[in-house]
């Protein structure tokens, strides 16, 4: 090989060392870039020349500048990111909701319940005491406000989650568009066989974002490894991003997800994918990963024909709170209706029709209730029993609710129909309410005793609580204006404390709450423990997933992230190689001078 061939060898060494310094500098400058993957120069020998029967080397060249990237480890990292996002989203929301129902003494709904029943117990000892009635009214309002406020807070969390879903879908669509655009640039840049390392880093960051948001999965045509390092494994070829079996990115094209609020009464958005034929795929039911999957699990993803959610953790919590509150309202009102009154009126009948089954329409139970009639002295002078079963209609037929109430019976068995419930009181259903009131010229009162039918409680006759559930429970408006109107008696007799005493015992007696029999406090404790248990489960799961995530992230960082110490070692290596190649060139320069001197 001629001396100038050797000079070319040295130049190739200078050139590759320079590229090595460039790459090392690029690594160091991106050391704090969390999306950056460490790059490495890979060298190979140039083709040798045959001289005098010997193969003489011609120097070195750069075969590639590649990312130190392992696709398998990176895929595991994406999957771990998805699980982490799902779990942390659940944990954050449930921890917030759990804080609405503290188990500490002296605070929260449990404390309000205890004060409420303590007030009834005090009134039972002195049933005419106006000051005690005012205390009871105040503790009742505090209890109702506590329940309503807690429900409103849960509702606010649910609304916020819906807003978060909508914002996240906007982010997802932007990321899908950017990935498709990056794919176009990557395909163009890699057409000559080189690697678009920085563009691939940007795409990887977007992939991780989509994994975190929506649990997207990514497929590539094939996987290739680096001959110089078995830990370096890249994905190449056809590219797709898939969510719930639907390809949202295919190569350089992408499809947006759309939002629709028409399925929900609360204008909660469902997520749709529009097919080429214009039909929609409801993606809300198939997105089960990432933070959006968790948000849907929390908020609810399915809605019935009435546009109400049929699933979801928060709707379940709200339903459970409503079960407790409805039980509290109805059992309280059922007892309060025992207090003798001249008239009672129900809540709205919701447009009840004559043929409506009262058990289905109003939530009554199979059983009966008594209407007890009292005279001016407070003596019981009559009692009518109304029977409820699966065949009882509202007002159609002799056995209907209204027919039993209005029939002319000899309730007291004295052979006369002039002093019975039917002759003393009128029953009306005008204004979408059931009303029972004295007939003109009559000075009798009546109370309603329940025998497991839940008539007075379900319809809200002679209410102590207004409202029907956690969203609208409140102290009866008339009582709120005049607390001294609270009736503690059952029979209208001075000193009678029948209702107040029954109310105080309500705290410790078992009542029907949904499918279970519990005390009022027991029913609330079951609800609160269920919320706390759900929260504890996701917190424990979050701790486990965090450990797994940290381990996989460390493994990925050890492979792909920049180590300043290692890069400084590489810098010294390339600097030494560069200096050595320069030394060769200096030596060759002197050799050339020597040759030129011989010629002279």
pLDDT in tens, 199-214: 999 999 999 999 999 9
pLDDT band at 346 (very low <50, low <70, confident <90, very high): very high
pLDDT of residue 600: 60
Q: Would you place residue 436 in the very low, low, confident or very high pLDDT band (cuts 50, 70, 90)? A: very high
Say what the pLDDT of residue 349 is.
93
Which pLDDT score is estimated for 276?
78
pLDDT value of position 339: 96
Higher pLDDT, 578 or 469: 469
State which of 5-19, 97-111, 161-175 shows the largest mean pLDDT.
161-175
Predicted local confidence at residue 529, as pLDDT: 92
pLDDT at position 221, please?
Answer: 64
The string of DSSP codes covering 8-72 is HHHHHHHHHHHHHHHHHHHHHHTTT-TT---EEEEEEEPPPEEETTEEE---EEEEEEEE--BHH
Q: Is the pLDDT of residue 1 over 80?
A: no
Distances (CA, A) of 117 to 62, 186, 334, 448, 508: 84, 71, 16, 22, 10
Structure tokens that stand for 168 in this block: 């996240």
The answer to whether residue 515 scores a pLDDT higher than 50 is: yes
Q: Among candidates 387, 402, 374, 327, which has minimal Cα distance to 487?
A: 374
> Quick one: average pLDDT of 173-189?
94
With 70 as the cut, is the pLDDT of residue 235 above it? no
pLDDT of residue 334: 95
Q: What average pLDDT does range 430-454 have in this prediction? A: 93
Q: Tell whether the model's pLDDT for residue 222 goes beyond 70.
A: no
Question: In the 3-class helix/strand/coil scheme, how is 334-376 assigned residue by residue?
Answer: HHHCCCCECEEECCCCCCCCCCCEHHHHHCCCCEEEEEEEECC
- How do residues 28-71 score in pLDDT, each as one tens digit? 999 999 999 999 998 888 777 767 767 777 778 888 889 999 99
Q: What pLDDT is attached to residue 237?
A: 55
What 8-state DSSP symbol labels residue 377? T
Q: Which two tokens stand for residue 544?
A: 């486990």
DSSP string, 424-435: HEEEE-GGGS-E
Average pLDDT of every residue of the chain: 90
């Amino acid at each position: 090989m001629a001396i100038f061939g050797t000079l070319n060898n040295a130049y190739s060494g200078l050139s590759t060392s320079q590229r090595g310094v460039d790459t090392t500098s690029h690594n160091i400058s991106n050391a704090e870039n969390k999306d950056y993957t460490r790059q490495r120069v890979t060298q190979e020998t140039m083709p040798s020349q045959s001289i005098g029967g010997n193969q003489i080397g011609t120097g070195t060249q750069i075969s590639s500048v590649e990312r130190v990237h392992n696709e398998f480890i990176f895929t595991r990292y994406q999957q771990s990111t998805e699980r982490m996002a799902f779990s942390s989203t659940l944990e954050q929301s449930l921890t917030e909701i759990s804080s609405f129902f503290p188990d500490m003494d002296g605070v929260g709904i449990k404390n309000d319940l205890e004060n409420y029943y303590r007030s009834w117990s005090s009134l039972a000892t002195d049933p005419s005491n106006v000051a005690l009635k005012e205390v009871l009214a105040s503790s009742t309002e505090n209890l109702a406000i506590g329940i309503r406020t807690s429900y409103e807070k849960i509702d606010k969390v649910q609304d916020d989650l819906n807003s978060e879903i909508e914002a996240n879908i906007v982010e997802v669509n932007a990321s899908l568009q950017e990935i498709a655009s990056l794919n176009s640039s990557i395909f163009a840049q890699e057409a000559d066989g080189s690697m678009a390392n920085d563009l691939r880093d940007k795409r990887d960051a977007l992939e991780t974002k989509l994994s975190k948001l929506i649990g997207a999965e990514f497929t590539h045509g094939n996987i290739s490894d680096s001959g110089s390092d078995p830990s370096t494994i890249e994905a190449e070829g056809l590219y797709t991003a898939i969510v719930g079996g639907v390809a949202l990115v295919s190569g350089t094209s992408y499809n947006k997800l759309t939002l629709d609020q028409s399925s929900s009464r609360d204008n909660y958005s469902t997520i749709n994918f529009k097919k080429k034929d214009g039909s929609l795929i409801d993606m809300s039911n198939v997105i089960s990963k990432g933070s959006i999957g968790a948000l849907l699990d929390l908020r609810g993803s399915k809605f019935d024909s009435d546009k109400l959610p049929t699933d979801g953790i928060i709707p379940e919590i709200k339903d459970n709170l409503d079960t407790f509150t409805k039980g509290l309202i109805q059992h309280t009102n059922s007892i309060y209706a025992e207090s003798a009154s001249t008239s009672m009126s129900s809540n709205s009948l919701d447009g009840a029709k004559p043929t409506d089954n009262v058990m289905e329409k109003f939530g009554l139970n199979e059983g009966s209730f008594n209407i007890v009639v009292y005279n001016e002295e407070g003596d019981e002078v009559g009692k009518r029993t109304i029977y409820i079963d699966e065949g009882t209609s509202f007002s159609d037929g002799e056995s209907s609710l209204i027919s039993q109430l209005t029939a002319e019976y000899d309730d007291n068995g004295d052979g006369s129909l002039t002093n019975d419930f039917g002759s003393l009181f009128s029953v009306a259903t005008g204004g979408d309410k059931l009303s029972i009131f004295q007939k003109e010229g009559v000075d009798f009162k009546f109370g309603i005793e329940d025998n497991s039918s839940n008539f007075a409680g379900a319809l809200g006759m002679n209410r102590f609580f207004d409202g029907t559930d956690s969203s609208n429970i409140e102290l009866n408006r008339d009582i709120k204006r005049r607390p001294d109107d609270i009736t503690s008696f059952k029979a209208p007799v001075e000193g009678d404390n029948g209702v107040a005493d029954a109310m105080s015992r309500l705290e410790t007696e078992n009542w029907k709450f949904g499918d279970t029999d519990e005390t009022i406090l027991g029913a609330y404790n079951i609800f609160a423990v269920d919320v706390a248990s759900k929260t504890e489960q996701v917190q424990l799961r979050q701790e486990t997933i965090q450990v797994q995530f940290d381990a996989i992230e460390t493994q990925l960082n050890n492979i792909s992230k920049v180590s300043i110490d290692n890069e400084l070692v590489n810098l010294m290596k390339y600097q030494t190689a560069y200096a050595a190649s320069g030394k060769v060139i200096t030596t060759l320069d002197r050799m050339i001078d020597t040759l030129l001197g011989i010629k002279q």
